[in-house]
Amino acid sequence: MEYTGIDAVVFGADDLKLARRLFTDWGLRKVSDRRKELVFATRIGSEVIVRAADTPGLPPRLEEGSQFREVIFGLANRKAVDAIAENLAADRAVQVDPDGTVHSVDDNGIAIGFRVWRHGLEKAEDGTAWNGPGHRGRLNTVGPVYEAAQPFKMGHIVFSVPDTRVAEAFYRKRLGFFLSDRYVGGAGVFLRWAERSEHHNLFFAKSRTGKVDLHHIAFEVRDIHEVFGGGKAFVERGWKTEIGPGRHPISSAYFWYFKNPLGGAIEYFCDPDHVDAGWTPNNYRVNRFSEWHLADGLGSGTDASALARPSLAAARAIEQGTPVKLKRDQTV
């Protein structure tokens, strides 16, 4: 189907001021700020759109009542979008906007959209330089320290649904997604939109309540340093950890999840597995959410001030020529 990414995710909001602060602090670029609509973008250009909850035509909330409204997938060309529209129109309502965006719902009632990708594409770059035994890729250079995150793109979106088998069948048979892994017994299914892609771009978990809702949206950052730096900065701005930081053994990615007042969670992640036709799907029998994780952030239950690193602050002050008084047992 020639998917290129998550083009946009749409939320409703009763408090646009809160949403503005949330996504600004998250590190997204503000594209537009109107009285009843906010648009933020990742570095690649994919968008988070927040509209006032009473906006006419806004898709309804899901069953659990979060403010998530729609996910819109980007495709490489008009032909691919039209093929999806024709496929879906065979058994469900399909709406086409003047700009060509196709809107419908999946078999779990989740609002989905499709449009020709309007944003940037990934370009080859050197990436993070790592040093390890036999490979010293970073020479005469200090490793990066991030004061905040700047998410590159939305890498995947996750929903809780009553029946993951229904979701898997729809996205594989109707929309051309590929199976990466499953939890047995219908507990969960990992799907990707291309044969060669990140380990997963969609994950469906069996709902504990029997209802449908957003679980989380994952934003990719450059490396583990940005996961930590971005997460630390987000906490210091007053936002609460959902779980993490940690590392997933399925997909290998590092993560840090935060509570999203609009519904579900938002995640910083990096270093996911990349797979192609040579990948063999696994059927996991036990929950493998994390290899390791912290339950409530780097503060381990303390307030945000406990995350301060006096020695780093002191070092930066010295670099700037500012006198620093060191406390007992503090080193630079």
Per-residue model confidence as pLDDT tens digits over 66-97? 999 999 999 999 999 999 999 999 999 999 99
**Domain architecture of the chain: domains with CATH:** 3-120+150-301 (3.10.180.10), 308-332 (no CATH)
Q: Which CA distances in Å does 71 have to 23, 102, 161, 171, 273?
A: 17, 11, 15, 14, 23
Whether the ω angle into residue 151 lies within 30 degrees of 0, i.e. cis, is: no
**Torsion of the alpha carbons at 106, 87, 168 and 273, rounded to the nearest 10:** -100
Rounded CA gap, 18 and 13, in Å? 9
- Decide if pLDDT at 330 tops 60: no
Model pLDDT for residues 151-185, shown as the tens digit of each residue: 999 999 999 999 999 999 999 999 999 999 999 99
- Decide if pLDDT at 220 tops 70: yes
Model pLDDT for residues 92-144, shown as the tens digit of each residue: 999 999 999 999 999 999 999 999 998 888 887 778 999 999 999 999 999 99
pLDDT confidence band for 201 (50 / 70 / 90)? very high
Rounded CA gap, 52 and 16, in Å? 7
Closest CA to 27 of 148, 156, 196: 148
Give percent of the chain with pLDDT exceeding 90: 83
Mean model confidence pLDDT for the chain: 91
Looking at residue 18, its pLDDT comes to: 98
Give residues with Cβ within 8 angstroms of 293, minimum separation 6. Answer: 243, 244, 245, 246, 247, 255
Looking at residue 153, its pLDDT comes to: 97
Looking at residue 326, its pLDDT comes to: 41
Alpha carbon 119 to its chain's center? 17
pLDDT confidence band for 10 (50 / 70 / 90)? very high
pTM: 0.90
Looking at residue 320, its pLDDT comes to: 65
- Decide if pLDDT at 308 tops 50: no
